[in-house]
Amino acid sequence: MSRLTLEAKYLGAMIGSAVGDAIGELAFHYPERNKLAQVVEGVAELRYTDDTAMAIGLATSLTNKGHLDGQDLGETFRRSFEQEPWRGYAAGPPTIFTMVRSLGIPYAQAAQSLFNGSGSFGNGAAMRIAPLGLFFHDSLQIYELACDSAEVTHAHPVGKDGAALQARAVAQAVKLDPQKEFLVDFFVRDLIDFCRTHEIRGKMELLEELLNENINPPLAAKQLGQSVAVQESMPFAIYSFVRHPRSFEDCLDCAIMHGGDRDTLGAMAGAVSGAYLGVQAIPSGWRRKLENRQTIEQLALELAESTVSSRQRAVGRGQRAVDRGRRSEVRDQREEDH
């Protein structure tokens, strides 16, 4: 994949997620399609919610550290929340931030204590995961890394599994070429094989059935669910993407116009669609009006840059290993000759 394409795809995922979040949030107030389009056209700024605030936090921590550091991630999330508590957070993350501050315990421990010790299966870990899906798109450890990023706030296995699956969807979308045919069956099957809880797998298998039977979006939304529970919204976001892989706008329309957790459905579907199609597929008027666009773009470019340099380091390490191997072969040969 060319460098330019990687950047366009990273920008697509980060901007696509933020735009999806912002327009999805407006759809709560303007649930009628024509009215929503008028409002989106008329507003001066597309304002995002906690989904994007946390995605920015994850991207910031990854680019600052160069790897995933759970404690740094938690601190980055906490600082961002304390600066902008009005972004529309559900109760879980702020409760964790307060516990960490007052009790001095690690984030993962505080997160585990929620919901009587079962941890959260809200969609909060999945809604923010696009930067990790990008940064680790060719890592074999993407499942574990996604879980490590989730457990800062979402300790429930379903909350982690949902986040890992969304990361995988973004990662696979980055690797696919939108100029080629989109193989929906392969994309969905890969995700089914990737997930590890029966709650998420059950929903993804249902998604596959709904696609095979060509079930329409309103019915699919009803059957898959669209709530704040990750197993009830992430699969419908994926459904929206695979129903409309060629159009960012149609994908977003599908994700946010059927009720439920609209901003987060928009953020998750927008991330995958943007990662697949690249940033040019997002209407320029939406991009221009996105709140804090320059920061989000900068982070996307830094993530792309770090990915490229870590790849180069890996290639360098591989080359050095090959060179070492060659040197020792030469040594062995010399010893045999003497």
User: Which of 92, 162, 266, 278 contacts ligand F2R by CB under 6 A?
Assistant: 92
Q: In whole angstroms, give the CA distance from residue 154 to residue 114.
A: 9
∠ at Cα 198 (195, 199), nearest 5°? 95
∠ at Cα 225 (35, 90), nearest 5°? 75
- For the CB of residue 243, give the shortest distance to ligand F2R in the complex, in Å: 22
Nearer to Mg ion, 49 or 149 (CB): 49
User: Which of 7, 72, 151, 261 contacts ligand F2R by CB under 6 A?
Assistant: 261
Q: In whole angstroms, give the CA distance from residue 159 to residue 114.
A: 12
Nearer to Mg ion, 96 or 145 (CB): 96
Give bridge partners of residue 46 from the DSSP assignment. 290
94 binds Mg ion (CB under 5 A): no
Nearer to Mg ion, 25 or 199 (CB): 25
161 binds Mg ion (CB under 5 A): no
50 binds ligand F2R (CB under 6 A): yes
208 binds Mg ion (CB under 5 A): no
DSSP characters over 205-253: HHHHHHHHTT--HHHHHHHH--SSBGGGTHHHHHHHHHHSTT-HHHHHH
Q: Could you tell me which residues come within 8 angstroms of residue 274 by beta carbon, excluding any fewer than 6 positions away?
A: 9, 11, 12, 13, 14, 15, 16, 17, 248, 281, 282
97 binds ligand F2R (CB under 6 A): no
Q: By CB under 6 A, how many residues form the interface with ligand F2R?
A: 22
Q: Are 272 and 237 in contact, with CB atoms under 8 Å apart?
A: yes
Residues 252-281 contacting Mg ion, CB under 5 A: 263
Q: In whole angstroms, give the CA distance from residue 185 to residue 32.
A: 32
Residue span binding ligand F2R (CB under 6 A) among the ranges 123-131, 135-143, 303-311, 321-329 = 123-131
Nearer to ligand F2R, 121 or 286 (CB): 121
234 binds ligand F2R (CB under 6 A): no
Residues 23-52 contacting Mg ion, CB under 5 A: 49-51
264 binds ligand F2R (CB under 6 A): yes
CA–centroid distance for 294 within its chain: 19
User: Which of 115, 192, 206, 250 contacts ligand F2R by CB under 6 A?
Assistant: 115
Q: 163: which 2 tokens?
A: 């986040």
User: Which of 31, 70, 88, 157 contacts Mg ion by CB under 5 A?
Assistant: 88
Site string for ligand F2R, 137-156 (x = CB under 6 A): -------------------x
Helices and strands (H and E) in the chain: how many: 19, 0
Which phi and psi (to 5°) does residue 200 adopt?
-75, -40
202 binds Mg ion (CB under 5 A): no
123 binds ligand F2R (CB under 6 A): yes
Chain positions contacting Mg ion, by CB under 5 A: 49-51, 88, 263
Chain positions contacting ligand F2R, by CB under 6 A: 49-51, 88, 90-93, 115, 118, 120-124, 127, 156, 228-229, 261, 263-264
